[in-house]
Amino acid sequence: MNSDQISVVTGGAGFIGKNLVERLAASGQCVLIFDDLSRGGEDRITSLVENPLVQFRQVDCADPHAMSEALASVGGQAHTVWHLAANSDIPAGVADPRIDLHRTFQTTFGVLEFMRSAGANTLRFASSSAIYGPFGDVAIFEDIGPLAPISNYGAMKLASEAQINAAVEAFLPRAEVYRFPNVVGAPATHGVIFDFVNKLQKNPMELTVLGDGTQRKAYLHVHDLIGAMFHISKLDGRRLTFNIGPQDEGVTVRFIAETVRDKVSPAAAISYGEGRRGWVGDIPSFHYSVQKLVDSGWAPSRSSAETIVCAVDEIVESRLSV
């Protein structure tokens, strides 16, 4: 690889990362993946590097020197870094805050140090709707306050955004911050659909659900997410921050459970727990405004419900084909 314009993708072995790398390579870009493989993904890397435009180095993104050495080993200039590496297991981060400290925040800190020494131009950062915390029935737009995340994951995403903002002030030419809610599609590595499919494959007669099933969340398909990120990447500005999500109030856990059940094991009974929260840091419902994104000229192709139906099909089919 010796292009002058390498796109670095951290967390490229993950679910969103794999989809992004495929899209970048399909558009002719040279891609260098950094991933510590702490959540697996060797199989996804194997398939990605079949494309000669894609290379992979196993590094911890909290270590800027390791990334600099890995870039030097490949050759070329890193113009853009898509920073997706983070802890994707929110309950694990609740049990041990050091997981989100390291994988969600210190990776961002390391990426910024790497970008400064590499003279890179643009950071594209996968932030999260979890930075907002609970707002009840108030619509969440980008400039709302106060920001009071209730999970360690959300806290460390907000910490990352703050550090990125200071970096733009100090040295970084441009940063794009994408705040998105639950993203689904194949290959699933975690998340509610993934969990429900697993449970039904273990026990085809019963699906147990945390909480009473009335929790409502917005879901975005990974293809829509990448479309939105590409759209934002073409807008002007030094600091761009956008909510990305569907234009609806989301779907309930009950809807997801029934969709998975109907697809995987129609005879299964669904049993619900009590209360609206599935785990500490889980927010039972929120209203996510993507008006700024829509005003900029982009809208998702699917509603939350259409996204869930599509993703359940994709996830079940990709698991059957393994």
Binding site for a second copy (CB under 8 A): 94, 97, 101, 105, 109, 112-113, 131, 133, 142-152, 154-156, 158-159, 162-163, 165-167, 169-170, 239, 241, 280-281
Cross-strand partners of 219: 182
List the one residue out of 4, 238, 14, 27 whose CA is nearest residue 118.
4
Are the beta carbons of 244 and 293 closer than 8 angstroms?
yes
Quickly list H helices, 150-299. 152-170, 192-202, 222-233, 253-264, 291-295
Of the two residues 137 and 143, which places its CB atom closer to a second copy in the complex?
143
Cβ proximity to a second copy, 61 vs 308, nearer residue: 61
Give me the least distance between CB of 96 and a second copy, in Å please. Answer: 10
State the nearest-atom distance from the C-beta of 72 to a second copy, in Å: 22
3-state secondary structure of 246: coil
Instruction: Determine what percent of the chain falls in helix, strand and coil, rounding each to the nearest 5.
Output: 45, 20, 40
* Least Cβ distance, residue 123 to a second copy (angstroms): 14
CB of 100 to a second copy, least distance (A): 9
Least separation in angstroms between CB 154 and a second copy: 7
Judge whether 289 and 141 are in contact, CB under 8 Å: yes
* Residues in Cβ contact with 132 at an 8 Å cutoff, skipping those fewer than 6 apart: 140, 144, 147, 148, 149, 154, 286
CB of residue 223 to a second copy, shortest distance in Å? 28
Tell the smallest beta-carbon distance from residue 158 to a second copy (Å): 4
CB of 146 to a second copy, least distance (A): 5
Q: How far is the CB of 281 from a second copy (least distance, A)?
A: 6
Looking at the Cβ atoms of 279 and 301, the one nearer to a second copy is 279
Q: Which is closer to a second copy, CB of 97 or CB of 204? A: 97
Smallest CA-to-CA distance from 101 within 60, 48, 155, 65 is with 155
Alpha helices in 30-146 (DSSP H): 42-48, 64-74, 90-95, 97-100, 107-118
Do residues 144 and 292 make contact, with C-beta atoms less than 8 angstroms apart?
Answer: no
Site of tokens 């010796």:
2
Residues 123, 6: Cα–Cα separation, whole Å: 13
Task: Output b/e per residue, 24-57; b: 16+ Cβ within 10 A.
Answer: bbeeebbbbbbbbeebebeebbeebbeeebbbbb
Query: Is the CB of 123 or the CB of 197 nearer to a second copy?
Result: 123
Place of tokens 């040279």: 30
Nearer residue to a second copy within complex by CB, 155 or 209: 155
Q: In this structure, are strands 6-10 and 206-209 parallel, antiparallel, or unpaired?
A: unpaired
Judged by beta carbon, residue 22 or residue 161, the one nearer a second copy is 161
Nearer to a second copy, 1 or 166 (CB): 166
- Residue closer to a second copy (CB basis): 116 or 190: 116
